[in-house]
Amino acid sequence: MPSPYRAIFGRPGTKSFSAAGLLGRMPLSMMGIGIVTMISQLTGRYGLAGALSATLALSAAVLGPQISRLVDRHGQSRVLRPATLVSIAAVAGLLLSAQQRWPDWTLFGFAACVGCVPSVGSMIRARWAEIYRGSPRELHTAYSWESIVDETCFIFGPILSIGLSTAWFPEAGPLLAAGFLAVGVFWLTAQRATEPVPHPREQHAKGSALRSRGLQVLVVTFVATGAIFGAIDVVTVAFAEEVGHKAAASLVLAVYALGSCLAGAVFGLLHLKGHASRRWMVGVCAMAVSMVPLQLVGSLPLLAVALFVAGLSIAPTMVTTMALIEEHVPRSQLTEGMTWTSTGLAVGVALGSSAAGWVVDATGAARGYLVPGAAGLLAALVAFAGYRGLRPQPTAPVAGPATAGGPPGQGDPERQGEESVGA
């Protein structure tokens, strides 16, 4: 039987834009940790380093959906290139101001502008959605593949960024991340044949994609999910330092990403029945439950095993989330909808890392794992509360223009006959 992954790359251009997306997404895992490493090496001020990383995350959370909204209106090639140039210029300013010891306010100003970086992952998924419109099984496999790419970035990106900044020169990590961004985005936007067709401004008269109740549930849940990720990063580094092996923290976190990567690879081979909302609920609850063993670990090997198991629920939940976004957001706003979930994650990462740092300072690293545990419980509670808004809605028959103003996905000729991924 041919591999489903091989099958999705049978369409022209798919290999090229996926490869470009890999390069363009590397900064997602490299830039923040690279800035922390750079600033801590140049100044020794970890508080400043963490504040700059949080500024970058929050800036990307604010600017990302607006950039994606412009992409839905005007197309990827017209929007992504100028946005990327602004971000790269800001990275250059940040590196120069850090190296020259300029005032702190200049660092924060440049860090905020770096957040203009586009959500490359959303751009790639939008291309897959355009190519495999009406083919839920192929789209399920494509989204699973992109989750594998995401986790690959998070396995190798931090190791590469930290390693270069410590072994070569402090600015090396962020500098390489900016290089990946430039090559990835300009390579991607040169591929016009697979670019989704932009939608005219009048199709956006009703405002943001976030008006969808289903998308609101997903975004709020992802704020809590992001807090899990941000807290685990901080606490794991602190835990490794307490046991005398701080350098091993990156390897332990790589195991966490590896668990998600393997789960995503297997998930893409499955053809599951039932509505995506049920699988999403199971995935969120599994992430919450997987935080319990972290409260009991007492060594790095046990922590690595616990994090590997915890990672198994991440990629399947993310893949299912993409299917739900397709169902609850009009196709003309699909890129923006996907970016809003990334925004929720970014906000959660900033909140979770800050809360975890406070708990570690106050009570020690072992107690710090209470933060991701609490975030997981909150994610499950939000998911239960909003589950009704994610369940399948009855599709109204297409009777003409009168039906066009219905809820997302209803009365839309583009979406008639489509099902959620994996249904």
Please determine, looking at this structure, whether the domain spanning 209-391 carries the CATH number 1.20.1250.20. yes
Nearest-angstrom CA–CA distance, 342 and 330: 18
- How would residue 401 be classed by pLDDT, with cut points 50, 70 and 90? very low
Average pLDDT of the residues in 46-59: 77
Burial of 135 (0-12, 13-18, 19+ CB in 10 A): middle
Nearest-angstrom CA–CA distance, 144 and 279: 14
Neighbours of 382 (CB within 10 A): 19
Q: What pLDDT is recorded for position 376?
A: 92
Higher pLDDT: 208 or 146? It is: 146
Burial of 337 (0-12, 13-18, 19+ CB in 10 A): buried
Digit-coded pLDDT (tens) for 346-377: 788 778 877 877 787 778 777 888 989 999 99
Digit-coded pLDDT (tens) for 96-136: 998 888 888 899 999 889 888 888 888 898 888 888 887 87
Digit-coded pLDDT (tens) for 267-278: 877 776 767 778
Share of the chain above pLDDT 70, in %: 86
| Phi then psi dihedrals of residue 268, to 5 deg | -70, -20
Tokens matching residue 193: 């044949």
- How would residue 206 be classed by pLDDT, with cut points 50, 70 and 90? low
* Confidence (pTM): 0.72
Residue ranges per domain, the chain? Answer: 12-141+157-197, 209-391
Q: What pLDDT is recorded for position 170?
A: 83
CATH code for the part of the protein at 12-141+157-197: 1.20.1250
pLDDT > 70? residue 284? yes
Nearest-angstrom CA–CA distance, 179 and 171: 12
Most confident of 114-118, 324-328, 399-403, 405-409: 114-118
Question: Would 12-141+157-197 and 209-391 be classified into the same CATH topology?
Answer: yes
pLDDT > 50? residue 419? no
Digit-coded pLDDT (tens) for 4-34: 778 888 888 888 989 999 999 888 878 877 8
Torsion, Cα of 107, 112, 116, 122 (10° steps): 120
